[in-house]
Amino acid sequence: MELFSTTEYLILSGLVLGVVMGATARRARFCTFGAVEDYILIGKTDRLRAWALAIAVATIGVQLLLYSDVARIEQVFYLDPAFGLLGAIVGGLLFGLGMAMVGTCGYGVIIRAAGGDLKSLCNFLILAVSGYMTARGLFSIFRNELIDRFDIELSPIKGQGVPHFFETALGIQSATLWLCIGLFFGLSLLYFCFKDKDFRSSGRDVAAGCLIGLCVVGAFWTTGFLGADPFDEVRVQAISYVLPLGDSLIYLMTYSGSAISFPVSLVIGTFLGSFIMAYWCDELRFESYDGVREMRRHMLGAMAMGAGGITAHGCTIGQGISGVSTLALSPMIALFSIFVGASFGLHWVLSGSVREAIDLLLGRPFNG
């Protein structure tokens, strides 16, 4: 007789992975927007390389899972034949812009809220509602009619993974090819990370990148292997922080009529992990808005992140690390779009001028 059911194993796993994600981000100041901000404003790349390290570790781990055929990686929605090019671009740009207006991503919103940031608590609620409305509510009408209907069907090549294109061109189907491409991509990122002397000496950033990458692999293995119950099979899921925020809010409001799931337990665990680390490091502080203008910017930014994250099918973690680790094409495009949107948004917030932000983004002098 098993100690726990499949569902209970998944809930417990989500909680543990979430605690590690939350504690790591709080302790190491792991933040995608912070990485972009450091690079653009002061040319510092430590946090950017930590984030790239997480992608490298996740990619190598996920491709090893795929090669060993133990976690149903081939079933993840990232590799679906429906290639959402428009959604990846529009949603990514919108998410990146919202990220700049708020100052962090959906993952960071949880981390900051757990430390007493009331702005992030408000952002959490708005992001959760906006994302849920875009996925399953009123806003989904516009997403379905204006974005998803233009998805490109890639059934002839069996999916949107980059190796799918190579398999079609070479006329073969090989798990070894996927592993080789994954290892090449992952090792290239590792080289980018560790060629920098400052990053090599930053144990905190190295540990953060490794831990978060391993958590992503752990999420795929947990849902793909433990969730492969023939009587109660669970779809393979990754770590993401857009729709799970909405699902968590729904769960909290309808506790007696709903069941906790892996994504919800992940969000709860992330909050707990960040709170514990904030308490341990004496970082619990109540913070609020400086004024109406800042509050308006944060509210609009959180709404943009929710709508954009669902339209792009993920956030900087869901698409940027989890999605990219599967070698799918749309997450890579979404990630690039998020970076562009965040860079433009950062220049816009700092300058207050759309024209100047565009000029700065394109690297040309502003002409007034």
Residue 303 is inside which H or E element, if any? helix 292-311
**Rounded Cα–Cα distance for residues 320 and 322 (Å):** 6
pLDDT for 364: 62
User: Is the pLDDT assigned to residue 223 strictly greater than 90?
Assistant: yes
Q: What DSSP string runs through 210-261?
A: HHHHHHHHHHHHIIIIIT--TTS--------SSHHHHHHHHHHHSGGG----
Q: What DSSP string runs through 194-208?
A: HTSHHHHT-HHHHHH
Q: Percentage of residues in the chain with pLDDT exceeding 90? A: 69
Task: Please state the rounded mean pLDDT for residues 153-182.
Answer: 90
User: Is the pLDDT assigned to residue 174 strictly greater than 80?
Assistant: yes
Q: Can you read off the two tokens belonging to residue 104? A: 């962090």
303 Rama class: left (phi>0) / alpha (psi -120 to 50) / beta: alpha
Alpha-carbon torsion, ordered 16, 115, 200, 39, to 10 deg: 120
pLDDT for 289: 87
Instruction: Spell out where 103-168 has E strands.
Output: 152-153
Q: For 195, list phi and psi in degrees, rounded to 5.
A: -75, -15
pLDDT for 2: 61
Confidence band for 211, pLDDT divided at 50, 70 and 90:
very high
Confidence band for 187, pLDDT divided at 50, 70 and 90:
very high
CB 44 within 8 A of CB 261: no
For tokens 């990370």, the residue is: 193
Q: Which of 25, 30, 33 is nearest to 100 (CA)?
A: 33
Instruction: Spell out where the chain has E strands.
Output: 82-83, 152-153
Confidence band for 367, pLDDT divided at 50, 70 and 90:
low
CB 81 within 8 A of CB 158: yes
**Rounded Cα–Cα distance for residues 24 and 247 (Å):** 23
User: Is the pLDDT assigned to residue 363 strictly greater than 80?
Assistant: no
Domain ranges of the chain: 6-361
User: Is the pLDDT assigned to residue 228 strictly greater than 70?
Assistant: yes
Confidence band for 244, pLDDT divided at 50, 70 and 90:
very high
82-133 pLDDT, tens digit each: 999 999 999 999 999 999 999 998 899 999 999 999 999 999 999 999 999 9
Q: Percentage of residues in the chain with pLDDT exceeding 70? A: 97
Task: Please state the rounded mean pLDDT for residues 146-158.
Answer: 91
Residue 325 is inside which H or E element, if any? helix 324-325
Average pLDDT, the chain: 91
Residue 124 is inside which H or E element, if any? helix 118-136
Least confidently predicted of 184-193, 249-258, 305-314, 338-347? 249-258
pLDDT for 353: 82
Q: For 292, list phi and psi in degrees, rounded to 5.
A: -65, -40
Question: Cβ–Cβ contacts within 10 Å for residue 320, how many?
Answer: 27
pLDDT for 269: 97
Q: Measured between alpha carbons, how far is residue 104 from residues 66, 126, 200, 339 in Å?
A: 32, 14, 25, 12
